[in-house]
Amino acid sequence: MKQSALQVLSRDFYDRDPRLVGPDLLGKILVRRDGRRLLTGRIVEVEAYLGAEDAAAHASIGKTPRNAVLFGPPGVAYVYFIYGNHYCLNVSCLPDGIPGGILFRAVDPIYGMKAMFKLRGINESSDLRRLTRGPGRLAAAFGITRERDNGKDLTSSRSDLYIADDGEPAPEVLITKRIGIKKAADMPLRYIVPGNKFVSG
DNA sequence: GTGAGGATCGTCT
DNA sequence: GACGATCCTCACA
């Protein structure tokens, strides 16, 4: 894949309701530049998180130092640490002042798999699905941490983390309930590419 | 293939 | 002090 063929998604793309941004992100490319290494993967599973009306969303309790990015401008990385072990990557949506975001749950690795295995700390002979299936695994495979990436602008190719369109036609989208949460568990805010082996659950 | 249980710590009450 | 937008390992089938 040629990097020049990638069109970085603009801030306008994220300046919408997460319920519109979520399905549109499927099929797009997550890109990490790590020194000279390039890591890429096709997004196949995301979840939308809203504001005060969504009890499962971090933003539902109001603005705090932790979740401030969700209340800021669109197209910015929100990375949080969970269960004492894992990081999860989100991107903020909606205009400055209105909270909302998308959680990246899985990607289908395209380039840099060898480096991803190393970052994940697992052997290359293990099941490929273990590489980037699930939000914690995805973040680890792309070397994403709160310290390094929280608050980072995802709309510039000069950034070492961004999301791009490679021109592939949009995939089929299936909407389901979100998983791994207790509150507001019935809201249909999970978007997946049906049949893709990296989709979790 | 499925299910139980533990690890581990930042964040908010 | 309790909990969580998770993952791993180990039993067992």
pLDDT tens digits, A179-197: 999 999 999 999 999 999 9
Statement: residue A93 has pLDDT above 70: yes
Taking a C-beta distance cutoff of 8 angstroms, is the pair A43, A26 a contact? yes
Is the confidence at residue A89, as pLDDT, over 60? yes
**Number of other CB atoms surrounding residue A183 within 10 Å:** 10
Residues 63-122 of A with CB under 7 A from strand C: 70, 78, 81-86, 88, 90, 101, 103, 120, 122
pTM above 0.85, yes or no: yes
- Enumerate residues 6+ apart whose C-beta is below 8 A from A123: A117
Element at A113 (helix H, strand E): helix A113-120
pLDDT mean across residues, chain A: 95
- Burial degree of A40 (CB within 10 A; 0-12, 13-18, 19+): buried
Residues 6+ apart with CB under 8 A from A68: none
- Chain C, protein-covered positions (CB within 7 A): 4-8
Amino acid at A72: G
